[in-house]
Copies of this chain bind each other. A is one copy, B any other.
Amino acid sequence: MKKLIRDNRTKKAELLVDETIFSVANGYLGIRGTFTEGYGTDFEYNQTYLNGFYDYYDYFYEENFTGFPQRGQKFVNLIDGQLMEFIVNNNAINISSCEVLSLKREYDLSLGMTIRRIHYKTVDNYEFIIKERKIVSSKYKELIAIEMSFESVNYDGEVLVKSYLQESIKKESKGLDPRIYNRDTRHLEITEVLTKKSRINSRTVNSNLLMTSSIYHSETLEYEGYNNKIVGKKVFDIKEGNSINIDKYIIHTSSMYDKNYISKNDKVNEEVSKLTFNDLLDFQKSYFIDFWNIAYIKVESDEFIESILNYNLYQINSSGGESSLHNIAAKGLSGEGYEGHYFWDTEIYLVPFFALTNPVKAKNLLMYRYNTLDNARNEALNLGYSKGAKIPWRTINGDETSPYYPAGSAQFHINSDVSYAIIKYYETTNDLEFMIDYGFEMLLETARFLIEALDYKNGVYHLNGVTGPDEYTTVVDDNYYTNQMLKYHFKNTYDFYNEYKNNLDKVNEKIEVTPEEIEKLLDVSNKINLPFNKELNIYAQDSSFLEKKKLDLKSIPVEKFPLLLNYHPLYLYKHQVLKQADTLLSMVLLDFEDESIYKDSFNYYEPITTHDSSLSKCIYSIAAFRLGSLEFGCKYFKEVLETDLLNIHKNTQHGLHVANLGGSYLGIVYGVLGLRIHKNYLSINPIVTKEIKGYEISIIYRGSEIKFKVGTSLEIESTKEVLIMINKRNVLIDGNYKINLQQ
């Protein structure tokens, strides 16, 4: 089953959530699942985004300190080409003028297409059925295609169709929420309205990125131009039982991706105008056959796990990775939460999916970091350091743009997170060329910054004054996660250098690698402080964490969550309370070995974790699976799966929680299958549970396609010879392998 179906969700809150759920994107261009005929309501707000297409603006601080980012960035809602009104007796047919008799929405994941059928009844008792199919093309990345059908059930007469290309309409304003943009400024201005060509040229106000947006239709409309819009009109005569059918094509091209973005727009227009909507669907089909061939995960279960999981994978794939000029925003292309910024979410929660199913996209994502490495070098200087690179905590164009450093710039761990992803990508793909040309340079530059940030005392290295993943505890000393990831980062950088130093002349010439700093990497890696509490048999989240009072989460009423919207940061910081997995995250990522400490740490931290971040439950679910708490693992795994579909964080209307989608992949692959990537082999420790009775997962590892089938038995197929450690036993697999699993 590759379909998602939702019926009769017509309340405002449902509509807004479903705009996100039914958003369509191809990693490059994305559009939310608004109704093409519009809502006619005050919350109507069509949104189309081009990945990385952003504007900047001046930040304002009541107390402005040196080194604070002085410019914000946000991705920019494009010129809207979607709206197409059907007007009967001067009334546009939509939810605000009509009663909705039925609404059916469907996401066809085998075509990357949304389908909608809505049955309206006007106050005059006329009934109309609108059917819409929408794709963002996998072949023509710049193209949105919409097939509209307007059927009269019982009306005979004229219907005026008005189809727009226009400046996006501003939405309702928002309350106090640090996760949402809080200005009311226009960031895209129209420079030219070319009515005859049904095209609008625009530019971002400050970053000066240029865009051409054009529309055309399967019917000949008469276009009228205004200063901020073009309206195509046509009057149809319709009879009871008949339909008006119009396809609309919207093409956005930008100077960001194409120097000749205007002629590119023409070219796409020309090519696509020769095709029908169904021709485009053929391309979709072929693209998604390839995609699902490797990405599809079968799950034998009484529940909807398989369909939700694959929906999630589909949306991860839609969110980015099409080019090394962009990354993946926290909400992908599905909404404006977090302003289209890229975070560590990509490297920790999403790169594994791409590395294992589509290494080209994984490389694109890492190359984005390489392409912005100079910005990260500048940020290191800005923070007072003499060299190295500090990956920005949040950014679009590569410059740090986090205005609240305690939960931003202070998260030095991002340097090791990106390095971890590079190392894992390399282990998964064996892409040595990438490592030599780009990867090692990033590993070392990010390490150099951290080396300078370290303190050294009595034979031990400390990393003081930083924030770990958990944002309810900020600017602390020796965050365990950060130090553990740094240890891994440094050791692997050291090893890679020693293995390939003779191949590193080019990078050596560029950034002057010294033997001393390479030795230092090993020394730090051996002597970095990892705060351990013997009494509790756990690693302390940081050097002072265990000294604080625990916050009694059970005594806090439900409506006070997420805590960040209800408590002063100082209050949260004074307590043992976690927004998200921190110590446990490194245990999961680095497959912590000592089961007793792992378990005690889990039992200590999980009850004081609010999971107010959507990056949390997937990690605890994996840890639970690994520790044998299958029921607990499943419970969290299902909550992870359903985060957006059930709107668990109550903000899905602002976009998909893309890292969490990645977390659902990690949940099944790291958690259930127990897959771990190593340099020369894989390891798995598959489990099945009451809820997950069996599953099939395919991956690509160093050019081999490997398929794992787990149920009462374990079957492995591989296109090449591969060494897999199965439940701690090495097995060399070439072709097929099958054993019975103990239940």
> Using a CB–CB distance below 8 Å, which chain A residues touch chain B?
59-68, 72, 176-178, 182, 382-385, 403-407, 409-410, 453, 455, 457, 462, 464-465, 474-475, 477, 543-544, 547-549, 564-571, 573-574
Residues of B within 8 A of A477 (CB): 544, 547
User: Judging by beta carbons under 8 Å apart, are B384 and A567 in contact?
Assistant: yes
| Known A-B contacts A60-B62, A564-B65; A571 and B455 likewise in contact (beta carbons under 8 Å) | no
| Known A-B contacts A382-B568, A383-B571, A475-B475; A548 and B63 likewise in contact (beta carbons under 8 Å) | no
Q: Which of B405, B455, B474 contacts A548 (CB 8 A)?
A: B455
**Central interface residue in A66, A382, A385, A547, by most chain B CB within 10 Å:** A66
Q: Which of B67, B453, B565 contacts A569 (CB 8 A)?
A: B67
Residues of B within 8 A of A548 (CB): 455, 464-465
| Known A-B contacts A383-B571, A570-B410; A63 and B404 likewise in contact (beta carbons under 8 Å) | yes
User: Judging by beta carbons under 8 Å apart, are A64 and B182 in contact?
Assistant: yes
**Residue of B with least CB distance to A62:** B403
Q: Ordered nearest first, which 10 A-B pairs have the shortest CB separation? A: A67-B568, A384-B571, A62-B403, A63-B178, A465-B574, A63-B404, A465-B573, A64-B176, A383-B568, A455-B549
Residues of B within 8 A of A64 (CB): 176-178, 182
| Known A-B contacts A464-B574, A569-B405; A66 and B564 likewise in contact (beta carbons under 8 Å) | yes
- The CA of A463 and the CA of B192, in the complex, are separated in Å by 62
What are 23 pairs between A and B in contact, CB < 8 Å? A59-B62, A60-B182, A61-B403, A62-B72, A62-B403, A63-B403, A64-B178, A64-B182, A66-B565, A67-B570, A383-B568, A384-B567, A405-B569, A406-B406, A409-B570, A453-B574, A455-B547, A455-B548, A464-B574, A465-B548, A475-B570, A543-B547, A544-B544
Q: A382-B568, A464-B547 are in contact. List 8 more A-B contacts (CB 8 A).
A: A62-B72, A64-B176, A65-B404, A67-B567, A405-B568, A464-B544, A475-B570, A475-B573
Residues of B within 8 A of A455 (CB): 547-549, 574
Residues of B within 8 A of A62 (CB): 59-61, 72, 182, 403-404
Residues of B within 8 A of A382 (CB): 568
Min CB–CB distance A576 → chain B (angstroms): 10
**Residue of B with least CB distance to A467:** B570
Number of copies of this protein chain within its complex: 2
Residues of B within 8 A of A403 (CB): 61-63
Residues of B within 8 A of A549 (CB): 455
- The CA of A457 and the CA of B535, in the complex, are separated in Å by 14
Residues of B within 8 A of A462 (CB): 547
- The CA of A568 and the CA of B64, in the complex, are separated in Å by 10
**Residue of B with least CB distance to A567:** B384
**Residue of B with least CB distance to A382:** B568
- The CA of A503 and the CA of B439, in the complex, are separated in Å by 75
Residues of B within 8 A of A404 (CB): 62-63, 65
**Residue of B with least CB distance to A551:** B384
| Known A-B contacts A465-B573, A568-B382, A570-B409; A547 and B457 likewise in contact (beta carbons under 8 Å) | yes
Residues of B within 8 A of A59 (CB): 62
**Residue of B with least CB distance to A410:** B570
User: Judging by beta carbons under 8 Å apart, are B60 and A60 in contact?
Assistant: yes
Residues of B within 8 A of A571 (CB): 67, 383-385
Residues of B within 8 A of A178 (CB): 61, 63-65
User: Judging by beta carbons under 8 Å apart, are B568 and A384 in contact?
Assistant: yes
Q: Which of B405, B407, B543, B573 contacts A570 (CB 8 A)?
A: B405
- The CA of A565 and the CA of B64, in the complex, are separated in Å by 9
Min CB–CB distance A499 → chain B (angstroms): 33
Min CB–CB distance A70 → chain B (angstroms): 8
**Residue of B with least CB distance to A407:** B63
- The CA of A384 and the CA of B556, in the complex, are separated in Å by 12
User: Judging by beta carbons under 8 Å apart, are B464 and A568 in contact?
Assistant: no
**Central interface residue in A59, A383, A462, A569, by most chain B CB within 10 Å:** A569
- The CA of A403 and the CA of B409, in the complex, are separated in Å by 19
Residues of B within 8 A of A66 (CB): 176, 564-568
Min CB–CB distance A175 → chain B (angstroms): 9
